[in-house]
Structure 1
């Protein structure tokens, strides 16, 4: 038997009574929250087509491979529209028109489904690197590709900005390409890994600050422009804008209207400087 939430083995049942369905209280609580969120989405979400046998069909009636692709597309759509917290095997199956039993056969549990989303989105964005690319260009390209993926799917950074991200091939390949670029500059492997972690921290930190929070505010109905207007009035009332002239210098009264364009400018302005510092030859062995 396995946990219906995460797919981990539950071991042999002990004693009598109702069989266990969850491996821990945290999984039980997570399942409750997801069922609650799914209920809220049900009214606005299209119902899956149901065949005559009473199970959700795959739409085309094709094999497991097509069902997996449908489930991944549905899960990405759910995460983009409502946040990663609403993505479950049950919700993805319903939106994809796939039987829940087939979704469980395909992925086993939610963690594997999320790892598949990470793999697909990172591979989709990856471009080819010219063999003659310099280490600096390689590092810049990799950072830009990661940023562009977060730009399109802000929820993704919450999965990867972790000490235990899903170590799917795309994540490992990006880490290898970055560390090899640093090694080409003369760094030993441990130093190259440390520089890669610093660069990754910059990209993910900017995405968390500028993209994920902004996207969350948009979903909750708190528009960034309205938030900034209210904050500007509050700062005026308290005199904070007089004490902190950088607020006007930073916004110039235009920040709310140009936020989406400015985040790319802010990211790239810092990226140039971060990479310049991390690839400086002053402290290379």
Structure 2
């Protein structure tokens, strides 16, 4: 007798579809992440990804960057009949391209974080066999580099066709470059995780960014090493804050809690710390915030840090100009005021 038990991904689809149609999961509400589904149903991440892909193809869920997969707004088309198996027919291999593989991978990383990304999860999202994806990219490491170069191509630098005129002053150019990089990292937080500063990614579109930043510093008296240091500092400022977006994505995916819900769970611990008497300055500062508390806004921190860094660059340029010739250069080389 043939085995009529539905495959694991289909059972997950059926349960989530029921929760959505019964109203247990409302439009805009997060559905369990691939990692939570894999843990709860004891299946592979790729199986969980396939289940969410089926629901996305049915129009029941949407993937949102830095949020995850949420219930879609109803589109007034009939629910699939019992036994409906959207993903049972893999897409024709002729429909798979390297661009589609890369874009599918970007979608997974945007919604679920890099931990959810694998060649199997990409193939599941495309509705094809894992080996088919390998025909277009050499493996996960190659895929991540392609993903990075693809999203960095969207850097909104002013000199690009839709970006307007480029600022003429060094500070305006550096601000424009840093904000463009921040904008891309906000949209794709996983970018901050793909490589250490000591091993820079030699990607064409990242080189475009570095060319922009270095050209802003060129001709102002800085040494080549100082120019590169400034470029790295501004880049790491963006990365250092953007990595928090990625960690929040991962934390939501793992715990199912928003940052507000997590903070609410920590209230007893916070009360114990602030009433212990061991941290008087912290307690006074937090208490002065009142009932609204402290709202950590990464965009504000980015602007605060960018201003401080550029003020420091301005001092470097003033010093470089003061040491450009004659007696002043001699004094500076000996560290004299």
Alignment match of 2:193 (pick from 143, 158, 182): 158
Contact 2:50 2:127 in 1 (8 A): no
The alignment of Structure 1 onto Structure 2 pairs a total of residues equal to 238
**Residue 211 in structure 1 maps to residue 241 in structure 2:** no
Aligned to 1:72: 102
Highest CA radius of gyration, 1 or 2? Answer: 2
Aligned to 2:46: 38
Mapping of residues 43-192 of structure 1, within 5 Å: 43-46=51-54, 49=87, 56-58=91-93, 61-62=94-95, 67-129=97-159, 130-192=165-227
Q: 1:230 to 1:102 in 2, by over 3 A?
A: closer
Alignment match of 2:292 (pick from 254, 263, 271): 254
TM-score by length of 1: 0.72
Q: How far apart are residue 71 of structure 1 and its match? A: 1.1
Q: Distance in 1 between matches of 2:241 and 2:212?
A: 21
Structure with a larger share of its residues in helix = 1
Q: 1:48 to 1:191 in 2, by over 3 A?
A: farther
Q: Distance in 2 between matches of 1:252 and 1:150?
A: 32
Q: How far apart are residue 40 of structure 1 and its match? A: 4.1
Alignment match of 2:301 (pick from 246, 266, 269): 266
Q: Distance in 1 between matches of 2:114 and 2:195?
A: 12
Contact 1:50 1:57 in 2 (8 A): no
TM-score by length of 2: 0.62
1:92-150 deviations in whole A, cap 9, x for unaligned?
A: 12212345444222211111111111011111133333345311111111111111122
- The CA RMSD measured in Å over matched residues stands at 2.7
Q: Distance in 2 between matches of 1:214 and 1:85?
A: 13
> Which secondary structure state, in structure 2, belongs to the residue aligned with residue 126 of structure 1?
coil
Q: 1:97 to 1:128 in 2, by over 3 A?
A: farther
> Which secondary structure state, in structure 2, belongs to the residue aligned with residue 155 of structure 1?
helix
**Residue 282 in structure 1 maps to residue 282 in structure 2:** no
Mapping of residues 206-245 of structure 1, within 5 Å: 206-208=241-243, 210-220=244-254, 221-238=256-273, 239=275, 242-244=280-282, 245=284
Aligned to 1:28: none
1:65-97 deviations in whole A, cap 9, x for unaligned?
A: x61121122111111222212222232122123
Q: Distance in 2 between matches of 1:41 and 1:99?
A: 13
Runs of 4+ in 1 over 4 A off after TM superposition: 47-51, 240-243
Q: Distance in 1 between matches of 2:314 and 2:147?
A: 32
